[in-house]
Amino acid sequence: MRDVAIVGVGMSKFGEEWNRGFREIVIDAGKKALNDAKIKGEEIDGMFVGTMAAGSLIGQEHVGALIADFMGLTPIASTRVEAACASGGVAFRQGYMAIASGLHDCVVVGGAEKMTDVSTASVSDALGGAGDQEWELFMGATFPALYAFMAKRHMHEYGTTEEQMASVAVKNHYNAARNPCAQYQNEITIETVMKSKVVASPLKVFDCSPITDGAAAVVLMPLEKAKKYTEKPIKIIASAQASDVIALHSRRSLTELAATKIAAKKAFAQAKLTPKDIDVCEVHDCFTIAEIMAIEDLGFFKKGEGGKASAEGKTRLDGEIPINTSGGLKGCGHPVGATGIKQIVEIAWQLRGEANQRQVKDARIGMTHNVGGSGATCAIHILEKGF
């Protein structure tokens, strides 16, 4: 097993890209990552792409080969990976394995989703395929409904309030306003969230991540090789993935994600670290309650105290543990397959000291937490600078 490092990162501007198709946004992100790594296409010998629903959204499967083609990278091995909203994180893990195993020497990992201006009648139906189609979506349980169940139970068990959840959205919009790649560049207030329309009680529009077009990409190499390409290689010191039962009604608890806890335990063991060692973390805030549960499940705060910690500002840029400096899924946008890679891009920027207005001081170790569906897949990575 070889050490693996990130040598280049890039992402498209997230948002409603009505003038650009799937191919254009992917090429945009890919070119930025290759330029950042200062490598040419010929040096790349493998690619992994995380995309959730290109088949149902734009009628296009086989996107691994499609992207290799439009990036001019044929005949490299190019593989699409899908794990719903964790497609990016899981694709990143495949890239990590490909380099660690010695089978590949330079791999690009991309994530992408084109979700606006598409052919599907219902994006909600396409996204519903991330849960249990037969027993949840078919019965009408869309994703806001599933997370509303979790929010209600969290409120019941721990006294979490709607205002506490709102504080997550406020913080993430604050960070997004400092991220030129983010979908939303505007700050909001608790009142903005509280007065927004109810989607699935207690979740309101501003508790929900948006529909987004976007792509992100990274270049991976063996660490020793990476040092020749960059003065700031970012080492991957942990890569972990876990699964859970897919339907919410089969879970033991509605207030935690077992897959997150198991993947986190594995990741911390691999990196020989504890939550206290993490300087900055991107978590999967598809809904505000999801961020609250994540910062508890990852061990940054005790179970039940995530809402209070958020409201007290402990997860802000200058807080105990800055969470979602990119703006998270809520503020930066959530092009499903791209999200897991965007998290990696943001942490790389933070560890390289290139996050400008949203830079976390002296960030040395960062973490990404990418969830698929309502928690049936979780991919966690820990990154470190300074090799």
Residue window 296-325: x/- pattern of binding to its own copies, with contact defined by CB under 8 A = ------------------------------
Residue window 104-143: x/- pattern of binding to its own copies, with contact defined by CB under 8 A = ---------------------xx-xxxxxxx--xx-----
Q: Which of 37, 165, 246, 348 binds its own copies (CB under 8 A)?
A: 246
Q: How far is the CB of 303 from its own copies (least distance, A)?
A: 18
- Which residues on neighbouring strands pair with residue 204, listed in sequence order? 198
Q: Closer to its own copies at the Cβ: 246 or 332?
A: 246
Active site residue 378: no
**C-alpha to C-alpha distance for 283 and 328, rounded to whole angstroms:** 7
Q: Which of 199, 223, 258, 292 binds its own copies (CB under 8 A)?
A: 258
What CA dihedral angle connects 78, 85, 173 and 155, to 10 degrees?
A: -160
Q: How far is the CB of 2 from its own copies (least distance, A)?
A: 9
**C-alpha to C-alpha distance for 210 and 96, rounded to whole angstroms:** 29
Q: Cβ distance 378 to 372 under 8 Å?
A: yes
Q: Of 173, 284, 334, 369, which residue is the catalytic one?
A: 334
**C-alpha to C-alpha distance for 255 and 258, rounded to whole angstroms:** 10
**C-alpha to C-alpha distance for 340 and 345, rounded to whole angstroms:** 9
Task: Give yes or no for residue 9 binding its own copies (CB under 8 A).
Answer: no
Name the amino acid, one letter, at 125.
D
Q: Which of 7, 98, 108, 293 binds its own copies (CB under 8 A)?
A: 98
Active site residue 85: yes
Q: Which of residues 206-245 bind its own copies (CB under 8 A)?
A: 240-245
CA distances from 119 to 57, 59, 151, 173 (A): 6, 8, 32, 30
Q: Which of 35, 189, 250, 253 binds its own copies (CB under 8 A)?
A: 250
Residue window 321-350: x/- pattern of binding to its own copies, with contact defined by CB under 8 A = ------------------------------
Q: Cβ distance 9 to 345 under 8 Å?
A: yes
Residue window 22-61: x/- pattern of binding to its own copies, with contact defined by CB under 8 A = ------------------------------xxxxx-xxxx
**C-alpha to C-alpha distance for 184 and 14, rounded to whole angstroms:** 9
**C-alpha to C-alpha distance for 277 and 324, rounded to whole angstroms:** 17
| Residue matched to tokens 């254009």 | 24
| Token duo for residue 71 | 């990036």
User: Which of 131, 135, 132, 114 has the alpha carbon at shortest distance from 123?
Assistant: 114
Task: Give yes or no for residue 82 binding its own copies (CB under 8 A).
Answer: yes
Task: Give yes or no for residue 181 binding its own copies (CB under 8 A).
Answer: no
The three-state secondary structure class of 208 is strand
Q: Closer to its own copies at the Cβ: 46 or 327?
A: 46
**C-alpha to C-alpha distance for 314 and 97, rounded to whole angstroms:** 35
Catalytic residues: 85, 334
Q: By the criterion CB under 8 A, which residues form the site for its own copies?
A: 1, 21, 52-56, 58-66, 68-69, 73-84, 90, 93-94, 97-98, 100-103, 125-126, 128-134, 137-138, 240-247, 250, 258-259, 262, 372-373, 376-377
